[in-house]
Structure 1
Amino acid sequence: MAVIIPILLVLVLAYHLYQIKLERQYKVRFGQYEYVSQQLKQEFYAAHVVLDSIAVNLAQPISFQKPPEWLEDIEQHPEHYYHALPNNGGEIVGRGQVSEALFATKRWQTVLSLNTAFDAALALQGGLYAVAYIEDDGFAYVKRREASSSHFITRLVQGKFEPDFSLGNIVVGPPVKFFDRQMFALGKKLSTVDNAHVLMIYDSDIIDRWLLNIGSLDGTMEFKNQSDEIIAGNAMITTTMGL
């Protein structure tokens, strides 16, 4: 009995110390997740600001009488048309054949009014790869960080980035993979323009690297859309948080 009591005391003390260690680890881990959560809220708030500013621009498009002469250089491909605007002005792409509707004055007023807003969006959000204005007939105006990949344009024309707007006015689309890249889009249905929406397309790898820079979360953090699909954050995060 004299031997058992000291052993029990040691076990109780060890258990107590273990509980203290667990509580401290929980507080540290909870603080880390709270920090990352606040950073994410700021990013999503910035995205909402950008979407709202784009909607304002669309409500007050610039005015001009006829399309610029460079609209004559649109390339016709088997399943889509394409044209890179001069002076880093973005890209025009759409499903099917070029039609007279493509040259409608209202459409081009819309395109040119979005140029500055799209530039601002790309400058404000580091994880943003591209911004696209898309009409339901397949016409799209897009600006992206680098225009070397035709595979991105193909996925855009095919509608791979499209969210399910039956889930809401602002919805995250499915993950889109091509080669070694994965992207996803945050979409907003526009109330100021009939049959049109805006996509903010993010590079999942950039989002992962951003998480590495802001947190020390040993384990896996997954970000999912409304359909429970993993869109980013599936990399192991093991760096040190700089607070």
Structure 2
Amino acid sequence: MTEQHTERVAIVTGGSRGIGRETAVRLGSEGYAVAVVYSGNRGEAELAVKEIDAVGGRAIAVQADVADEAAVAALFDRTEEAFGGIDVVVHAAGVMPLSPLADLDLAVFDEVVRTNLRGTFVVDQQAARRLRDGGAIINISSSLTKLARPGYGAYAATKGGVEALTLILARELRGRNITVNAVAPGPTATALFLDGKPQELIDRIAAEPPLERLGQPEDIAEVISFLAGRGRWINGQVIYTNGGSAA
């Protein structure tokens, strides 16, 4: 008789800060074993692991460059060794340098593409190969693909690519009961969004949606959690999670 696994296992990239961290802790509180993936900030990743332990979950911190295929394969190996398999991948790692297109250094553009777009391809490729049937892949896009704010050209372009990969992968995984979706937050109160912005600009952006506030990481984690677990009839979709912001 084949032994059935009961604990669901999640990998969360970008898990040391912001939306990724909130999601990792949320999934841990729901009984997932979680691999908290970080790029350089080991201290923050270990704090996230402690938060997950405190809410009754199990977690490990794993360093990986999401655009490096060998590092990502090793991440999946480490997670399988620790927890026995993988059911959910939440890919929240990303970078967001701001500049008008005319002024952006191409080396910076190449780094944005490497992290945000190649990183999604590499992580999703391993997920497609190694997730257990019945799992879920959730990529993080951005409402900026619709809002089209000046200065976000490189970032929004890569997120448009993330959405294309998401929709195609959902169709390629036919027959395995694996859902693939993207969550596209609007302005959210994370360091990635807040850093470098004057308060006047933050206040103006916060007032734009009908709900008249910035999103909070827990708002986004709520949607990701649903897609990871109960939202089994949502597949091949981009879920705009932005409080009603419109282009």
The TM-score bracket by the shorter chain reads under 0.3
Q: Which has the higher contact order (CA 8 A, sep 6+)?
A: 2
More strand by share: 1
Greater C-alpha Rg? 1
With normalisation by structure 1, the TM-score equals 0.27
